[in-house]
């Protein structure tokens, strides 16, 4: 592993954007193989080339800036996916409603019959069956 340490000394290395490029490369490359579209194959190759150029780059400040811009766009998407997955996992025990006044999501336990829900944000009450 000493050779790897020596190789990567002063270089940027792997970050979230590089991982995203690698993850995007795999289905694109498979799609290019299945469809035999040369342009798709070239695009996938360009992605992997950019990924390796970033990993071995010595311009660390520029790569950090690029990764920061990527993360600003990626985190809202990641949080949205995480919340949907959590709701799916939680759907056996709870139901989710939106407040009719402020659209705040409200989580209530399932199997309690018709209940009056009070929005924690705007205190509006509404009736729902759980």
Considering the complex, state which of residue 45 and residue 117 has its C-beta at the smaller distance from Zn ion: 117
Confirm or reject binding of residue 121 to Zn ion (CB under 5 A).
yes
Maximum CA extent, the chain = 67
For residue 106, state whether it binds Zn ion (rule: CB under 5 A): no
Q: How far is CA 11 from CA 16, 36, 99, in A?
A: 16, 35, 50
Q: How many residues bind Zn ion (CB under 5 A)?
A: 8
Task: State which of positions 72-101 bind Zn ion (CB under 5 A).
Answer: 99, 101
By CB under 5 A, tell whether 107 contacts Zn ion. no
CB of 109 to Zn ion, least distance (A): 19
CA angle at 53 for the pair 70 and 1, rounded to the nearest 5°:
105
What six digits make up the tokens of 38? 């040369």
118 counts as binding Zn ion under rule CB under 5 A: no
**Strands (DSSP E) found in 19-112:** 94-98, 105-109
Per CB under 5 A, residues contacting Zn ion are 99, 101-102, 104, 119, 121-122, 124
């Amino acid at each position: 592993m000493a050779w790897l340490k020596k190789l990567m000394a002063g270089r940027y290395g792997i970050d979230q954007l590089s991982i995203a490029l690698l993850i995007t490369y795999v289905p694109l490359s498979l799609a290019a193989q299945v469809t035999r579209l040369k342009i798709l194959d070239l695009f996938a190759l360009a992605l992997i080339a950019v990924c390796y150029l970033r990993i071995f780059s010595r311009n660390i400040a520029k790569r950090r800036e690029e990764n920061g811009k990527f993360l600003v766009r990626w985190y809202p998407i990641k949080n949205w996916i995480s919340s949907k997955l959590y709701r799916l996992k939680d759907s056996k025990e709870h139901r989710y409603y939106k407040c009719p006044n402020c659209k705040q999501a409200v989580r209530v336990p399932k199997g309690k019959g018709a209940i009056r829900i009070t929005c924690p944000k705007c205190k509006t009450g509404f009736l729902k069956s759980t």
